Amino acid sequence: MDVVTGFLKERDGSLDPSDWNRDLIEARVLSSLEFVEFLLVIEEIVGSPVKLTEENIQSFRTLGGINALINLHMEAK
pTM: 0.89
Q: Which of 61, 65, 66, 70 is nearest to 29 (CA)?
A: 61
Nearest 5°: the CA angle 39, 41, 1 is 110
What pLDDT, in 10s, does the model give residues 16-63?
A: 999 999 999 899 998 889 999 999 999 999 999 998 998 889 999 999
- What single DSSP character describes residue 53? -
| Residue range of the domain that includes 45 | 2-75
CATH number of the domain that residue 69 is part of: 1.10.1200.10
Count structural domains, the chain: 1
Biggest CA–CA distance in the chain, Å, is 34
Distance between CA atoms of 53 and 57, rounded to whole angstroms?
6
